[in-house]
Chains A and B, each alone.
Chain A
C-alpha cells in the first residue's frame, strides 16, 4: 500500500474515531463510526486481506451500524447536555492516555523487526478460498462453537426484548 493512501485512510479512521467519542449527539457518533470502519476496511484491503475487508464492511457498515442506528431511533435519544467537568477525573484520564501512548511508542521503538518492509506477496491471491480452507480444516471446532454462540445470542435477544420481563 502506498504511504500516501495509508496515511490518508489512517487519518480518516482516527479522525472519525475521535469524532465518534467526542460528538454529543448519538446519531452523529454512529455515522462517524461508519466512516471510521470504512477507513479500517480500506486499510485491510491495503494489507491484501480482501475477504476480511469485505466482511468488515458487510458486518459493521451493514449490520452493526444499522442496529445502532435503529436503537437510537427507537429510544429517541437527544443530544446530551454539557456536563460539569470533573477536574481530578480529567487529569487522571489525561495521565492514563499519556502513559499509554508513551508505552506504545517505547514498545514499538524497541521492536526492531517491525521496521523491515513487508515481504512480497503472491499477486491475485484466491483469498476467500484460502480462508475457507483454513477455517474448515484447522478451525472446525471453533467455527461450530461460534455457531452455537450466535444461536445463544439470537435466543437471548428474543428473550430480552420481550415486552414484559416477568
Chain B
C-alpha cells in the first residue's frame, strides 16, 4: 500500500538530487535544470498532500492551486533566466559559472 510518507520520501529525494545538481555542477544551464527539479519536488509533495487531505471525497484543491502557480512562475522564470544566460553568453562566450565571477564587465 502506498502511503503519503512514500510520496514525501520520493519528493525529498528528488529535491536532494536537484540540490546536488545546483551545488556540484558548474554549467549554468544544468544548474537551472537542478532548480527545476527542486521546484517539481515541491509540486509532488503538494499534490500528495492535496490528495491526502481529502474532504467529502474531493481532494483539497488549495494544494493543487499552489502547484498551478508554481508551474506558471517556473515557466516565467525559465524564460527570463534563459534570456539572461543568452545575454551572458554574448558578453563572455561561456556558460561556466566559475568564469562569471565579476559583477561588472
Any A–B CB pair closer than 8 Å: yes
Interfacial residues, chain A to chain B (CB-CB below 8 A): 1, 3, 6, 10, 13-14, 17-18, 20-21, 26, 29-30, 33, 36-37, 40, 43-44, 47-49, 51-52, 55-56, 59-60, 63-64, 67-68, 71-72, 74-75, 77, 80, 83, 93, 96-97, 100-101, 104-105, 108, 111, 113-122, 125, 130-131, 134-135, 138-139, 142, 146, 149-150, 153-154, 156-157, 160-161, 163, 165
Q: Do A13 and B21 touch across chains, with their CB atoms under 8 A apart? A: no
How many angstroms from the CA of A101 to the CA of B20 in the assembled complex?
12
Q: B interface, by DSSP: helix, strand, loop or mixed?
A: helix
How big is the B interface, by class? 35 or more
| B24 contacts chain A at the CB level, 8 A cutoff | yes
Q: Which residues of B contact A108 (CB under 8 A)?
A: 5, 8-9, 12
Q: Does B100 contact A (CB under 8 A)?
A: no
Interface string of B62-94 (1 = CB under 8 A from A): 101101110111111111101111110110000
CB distance from A46 to the nearest CB of B (A): 8
Residues of B within 8 A of A (CB): 1-10, 12-14, 16-21, 23-27, 29-30, 32-34, 36-37, 40, 43-44, 47-48, 50-52, 54, 57-59, 61-62, 64-65, 67-69, 71-80, 82-87, 89-90, 95
A125 touches B58 (CB 8 A): yes
Q: In whole angstroms, how far apart are the Cα atoms of A44 and B59 in the complex?
A: 13
Given A116-B3, A130-B61, A149-B76, the answer on whether A37 and B10 have CB atoms closer than 8 Å is no
Contact of A131 among B19, B68, B85 (CB under 8 A): B68
Contact present for B47 and A160 (CB under 8 Å) = no
Contact A63 B75, beta carbon cutoff 8 Å: yes
Q: Is there an interface contact between A59 and B75, defined as CB atoms closer than 8 Å?
A: yes
Would B95 and A14 count as touching, CB distance under 8 A?
no
Does the CB pair A156–B83 fall under 8 Å? yes
Report Cα–Cα, A10/B9, bound state, in Å.
10
Q: Name the B residues within 8 Å of A97 (CB-CB).
A: 16, 20
> Are A100 and B23 in contact (CB-based, < 8 A)?
no
A14-B10, A115-B5 given; 6 more Cβ-contact pairs under 8 Å? A21-B34, A93-B24, A96-B23, A108-B12, A121-B59, A157-B79
**A163 neighbours in B (Cβ, 8 Å):** 90
Bound complex: CA A54 to CA B29 (Å): 25
The 8 Å CB contact of A134, one of B14, B26, B62, is B62
